[in-house]
Every structure is written in structure tokens, then in C-alpha cells.
Chain A
Amino acid sequence: MERLLRNQKVRNALLQILFVGALALLVIGGALVARQNLIDQRIVSGFDFLYKSTGWDMNFSLFPVSSRDPYWWFFLNGIVNTLFLGSFGLVLATMIGAVVGLARTSTNELAQLLGRAYVDFFRNIPLILQVIFWYAVLTRLPPPRNALEGAGFLLSNRGLYAPFPNIGVAALLVIAAALVAAVALPVWLGRTGRLSTPPDKRLPLKLCAAAAALLCALAAVLLGRLPDAPLLDMPGLQGLNVRGGMRVSPEFMALLVAMGIYGGAYIAEIVRGGFKAVGRGQVEAAQSLGLSPWRIFSLVRLPLALRAMLPILANQYIWLIKATTMGIVVGFTDFFMITALTINHSGQTLEAIFILMAGFLLINMSLAALFNRINRAIALKGNQVRA
């Protein structure tokens, strides 16, 4: 026995068995206690509850949801809400971050100072405090009767009312796709190697492609507009409330603004780091080739900086998606809040937590995989000296 314990291989195996066994014991013990507790409270474990109707409602959803709908539909809408808020938050944060980051890397000292003040101020205040602050501001705006008006928008304590086109949902999707194509097609045409015309003589082709895409969008507008209604549905005051237009709730706005501002401060630092990572030799080489400042920026500094910042940016994006869980402090029904409500109402604690973990794992992993692909696609090939 003693000799057996002295044997390195046996000891290693024993250690591993002990470690994994202790963890497994912890998990199994927890599960057993939980099962007993659930039986005591007469809760049937298992995922059957997903098909029951909830009996409560969501205050924000992109698809129609009512209290008679089953739990799985609520979870799905929760995930959609999280992704919806997350993607708008990412876009806003990236735009703010790009502007502030460029200001911080510019040669202008006043712009640098402004960018630095922004980053230092907003990065050092917790996100949740910013969310609560904006929510407090937005819900204390004047009531709809005295709403702030400007350019067809109405801002009141019920939220922001914006003009919305009177166009069917399908047509709206077609228009969005056509607009994306109008930008993406010319870019693709400029780069593809499948055409016989040389890249510098493709301008007419690009213009034609963009025009065709825009024509498609226009056709969709004309075909898809609702009959007997003006093209734009303008919000207007009727009695004590606002009718028409599209309403953006204060909850959504508070989260979006806070995520944009806070995430923007972090992304600005990433942008700055990316530009700092571009070797000075690269810029000097470009200068000695006689490139104009704009071409140095767009052809040398930006592409190199983008490659340097992409991996860190991916982490920040994943962080921001996770930050949508702050929705629960203002009552925005995101994925996490749906989980919390499910636990409160149905008592299916373990199942709901399992769905939450699986959902976030899925979101995080797909985002990480997407960024890894982008990273690989744009990585510099070969072994150039980059400093």
C-alpha cells in the first residue's frame, strides 16, 4: 500500500480522482437537496413548464406577446430583446468610441483634452448608476401634454415618439436589405478578382450597382406602403396621450444611452490603443512615399489599427451584451429579467437558471466565433516586420 502511494502515476491518478470526485459530490449533493426542496414545495421539475402559459406580461417585445403565451415564447422574446438592445448599444458605443478615440489620438491638443475628459469621467462611474440616473431623468420629463417637440419627435415621460413609415414589415426588411446592398455591393465590386475589368475602371459598374439597389428600395417603399395612409406616421397629441408614430420606452432609452456612453468610453480607449500600436516606421514610410495625410490615415494607420484592436474589441462587445442584464433595474424585459420573473412565478428555479446559462453561453460563443473568423480573415499574411 505504502509503495503504491509513493508511485508518481498512482498518486497523480488518485489526486485527479479526488478533485473531480469532490466537485461531482458537490454538484450531486446540491442537486439532491434541491430535488428534496422542490418535492417539499410540490414543484414538478423538468422542462414541461415551458409549454404552460405564463399569466404575466412583457412590457417590451418585438413580436406580439400576451399573458396566455407559453414560457418558451417568453424566453425567446427575452433573448431577442437582449440582442436587440445589445446590438443598438454596440453600434452607439462604437460610434461614440470611434469619435472620442480619434479625438484622443489626434494631433490637436484641445481635442485630446476633450476626449480625455470624456473617458476619465464616464469610465469611472458604475454603469448601473448611469442607467438609474438616465432613467430618473427620462421618467421625470413633462407629461405628454407638455411634451418637448422638435422635428416631428415628441419627448415626454412616456418615452420618445418618433415618426415611423407606414410600410409593412416585410417591405421594411426588403428596404433594409437593399440599403445594405447599396453600400456593400460597390465595396465588393471594388475588391473582387472575378471581373476582367481592372479595379480602377469599375466606377461606372459600382454606380450602376448602387443605383439598382436604391431603386429596389424605392420600389419596396412604393409597393409596401399601407393604402390610404400618409407615408410617414407622425406622432401627435390626442387628448392626454400621444397617438401614432413609434414609441421608444424610457427603459429602453435609459439603457441605450447609458450603454452607449459607458461603452463608448471603453471603446475610445481601445481605439486609442489600436492607433498607438501602429508602428511609427509604417507612418514614416507612408510619408516618405508622398501620401497625403488622409491616405496615410485610410490606407496605413486605420487598417493596421483595426487589426490591433479587434481582439480587445470583441471582448468589450461580449461585455456590453452581458451588460444588458442591467435591464432589471429599470424593468426592461431582457433575457435575464424573464428568467428572474419565471423563477418568481413558476418556481422552476434550476431549469430557468439552466436556460439562462445555456443562452448566455450560446450568445458569447457565437460572438467569439464570429470575431475569430473576422480576425483570421483580415489577419496579415506572412511574417512582415510590423514595428
Chain B
Amino acid sequence: MASVLAPPRPGPLDSLRRRFFPTPPQALVSAVSLTLLLWLGWKVLDWALFSATFDTSGTADACRAATGACWSVIAARWRILFFGLYPYEEQWRSALACVIVVAMTVLSCIPSFWTGRRIALVWGVGTALFYVLMKGGVLGLPYIGEEQWGGLALTLFIFVTTCLIGFPLAICLALLRRSELPWISRTTGIIIDAVRSLPLISILFMFAIVVPFMLPGWLQGDKLYRVIVGSALFFAAYQAEIVRGGMQGVPTGQDEAAMSLGLNYWQRIGRILLPQAMRNALPATINQFVIAFKETSLVIIVGFFEILASGNAAFGTAEWRSAYVEVYVFIAFIYFTFVYSLSRYGAFLERRLSVGDR
């Protein structure tokens, strides 16, 4: 009786070949991709690490010799990047304020904080701490006005306050738009659509320059807060549609059941509708936060000294003039770290939520 031989087991090389080079066209695509990946990877690493200078002497001398990146500019000018024009001795306050924002963001990513009260507490207390730390004037901290805030701290402040004002506003707008009273829902709809059809830059510009025309002097407030209100309004208009979408996903039976139990309007909204709607809307909401964070960079247009503007100032001296690429790459890296980790978290959450559904 002839013995049956097992088919030869593919060696590691063989499985590699099957995976990446099964047919000539596939092999070509793989080869091109691989070359591109290796070439790009090598170029970037060589520029950023191997040929770069990390000299911290505070002068640009070492950079003239280096063929790669000149990270000395960051070592010499990191204070202006992070803190802007904030007074030198008080910059620890600005740094601590940034840490508070990061802690707030991390805390609100933990599921046990996902009740309306706890989230509101974290963000309310966090923002208040941030404000007191930055502005001072109490507890022996010297007073520092908003016009001296800058850099990363200002970017984070605008982001946090935008969300803090924008999120409740979004829920209000969504509820108003869903109202059964035709005039209320229609007017709200017009406001939301009008805001959504305009570019954010034009809204910021309007709030910075046009709104003072339309308000009596005592109501105008600082330009910073007007711009924050504008960006919060823009955030709320988009977020309201997301929340509304989430509400539409809640079956009407839920509301009817709550009504038959005798719950009043606010109980039905607060305990039945919103918790379920927010769960439906969570991935899109995180996406909207990510977009809001990226869009804080636009305030440079209405003349704020946020991180992009302080980046321009960082290489604005004669000594560091040629180091603009390094500064921009560093700012891009800061944005990337924040935005990428948030969006990865959003993707993780989306997977987790959709697993729970099935």
C-alpha cells in the first residue's frame, strides 16, 4: 500500500512569497510599496535623528554644520512655543494648567465618568482651576491678563472653553430642533444650517470684528471670549446635528413607556432620551472633538498668539530664521499626539460599542 505523503509544509520564505509576491502584478505593487516605505523611512529617520543636531547651547552654530534637523531651536525656544508671552517666572502656572487639561481629557475617556453630573463636574472644576491658575489675582498668584496668554496654553484654553460652552448649547439646539412646536424647530433649524454653511474662519472673524459693532460697549467683553463664543457656536451647530442623529436612533417606544410611567418632560429627556442618544452619538461626538481641537489653530487669523503664531515667533529671530521646518514639524507633532490619540480612542470605542450591540 502506497504511503500518502503529507503536503510539504511551507517554509517561512515560502509563506512570505505567497503573502507579498503571489502574482507578478502583486509582486510589482509590493516591490514599489516596499521601496517607497524604506526610502521614506530612511529619509525621515536620517533627517530627524541620525544627521540631526541636539545641541542645547542655545545658539545656532551647531546647526550650520548639521545636514539634518536642527532641534537646537526647540531647546532654545520651547518656552515661547508652549507659553507665548506669559511672564517668565510664572510659566510654571501655564505648564500646570496644560497638565490639568490633559488630565481632564484622560478622565473623561474613562467610562465610569460618563454620567452627565460627573462629566460636568470634571470639566467645570478643571476649567475653573485652569482659569484661576492662568489669570491669578487670588491666593497670592500675581494677576496676568488674557492678552499675555499664549502658546499651547492658549490653544488648550480655547479648545476647552469651546467644548464647555458648545456641548450644552448643542444639546439645547438639538432639543429645540426636535421640538413639536413648528416655529421653534424651524427657527432653530435655520440658525443651525446658516452656521453650518459658513466657514469657521468667517465666523471667528465676525465675532472678533463685526459683533462689537452690534453690541453696546458694556456687553462686548474681551475679544478672546467673543471668539470663544463664536467657535462654541460653530461647534454646537455641528454637534447638535450629531446629537439629533443619536436621538433619532432611540426607539419611540422608550419615550412612550416613560410617558406612561408618568415622567415629566425633563425626566424623560434627562433620564431616558439623552443617555441613549449620547451612547448612539458617541463615536461621532469624539470625531467632532478631534475636529474642534484641530480647528482651534484657526484663531491665528484673528490675531491670537496661539501655538502656531508662537511657532512663527520662535523662528522669527535672525539666528533661527532657517529652522522653520523644525518648528513646524514640532508643532505638527504636538497636534498629532493629541489628535491621533483621541481619534484612536474613538475608533476603539466604536468597536467596543458595536460589539455590545450584537
Contact = CB atoms under 8 A, between A and B. Distances in A.
Interface of A: 12, 15-16, 19-20, 23, 30-31, 33-34, 37-38, 103, 106-111, 113-114, 117, 120-121, 124-129, 132-133, 136-137, 140, 322-323, 325-326, 328-329, 336, 339-340, 343, 349-350, 353, 356-357, 360-361, 364-365
Contacts of B194: 357, 361
Interface string B3-31: 00000000000000001100000100110
Contacts of B205: 336, 340
B214 A20 contact: no
Given A136-B324, A328-B301, A349-B210, A30 B197 contact: no
A364 B335 contact: no
B106 interface: no
Contact of A125 (B34, B301, B335): B335
B63 interface: no
Contacts, number: 130
Contact of A128 (B30, B206, B300, B324): B300
Given A16-B181, A33-B213, A33-B215, A129 B332 contact: yes
B201 A336 contact: yes
Given A20-B187, A37-B213, A128-B300, A360 B201 contact: no
Given A103-B33, A114-B36, A125-B332, 18 more contacts: A16-B184, A19-B184, A23-B187, A34-B213, A38-B213, A107-B26, A109-B19, A110-B20, A111-B29, A124-B335, A125-B335, A126-B297, A136-B328, A326-B201, A328-B201, A349-B210, A349-B213, A353-B206
Chain B facing A: main interface SS: helix
Given A33-B216, A124-B336, A129-B308, A360 B199 contact: yes
A109 B209 contact: no
A34 B340 CA distance: 43
Given A30-B214, A33-B216, A353-B210, A129 B328 contact: yes
A19 B297 contact: no
Interface string B123-147: 0000000000000000000000000
B106 to A, nearest CB: 18
Contacts of A121: 336
A322 B199 contact: yes
Sort chain B's interface into a size bin. 35 or more
Contacts of A117: 37
Contacts of B332: 125, 129, 133
A126 B335 contact: yes
A360 B336 contact: no
Contacts of B340: 120, 124
Nearest to A11: B181
B324 A140 contact: yes
Contacts of A133: 325, 328, 332
B339 interface: yes
Interface of B: 19-20, 26, 29-30, 33-34, 36-37, 176, 181-184, 187, 194, 197-199, 201-202, 205-206, 209-210, 213-216, 294-295, 297-298, 300-301, 308, 312, 324-325, 328, 331-332, 335-336, 339-340, 343
Contacts of A140: 324
A128 B297 contact: yes
12 contacts: A19-B183, A33-B216, A110-B33, A111-B30, A113-B33, A114-B37, A121-B336, A128-B297, A343-B210, A349-B209, A350-B213, A356-B198
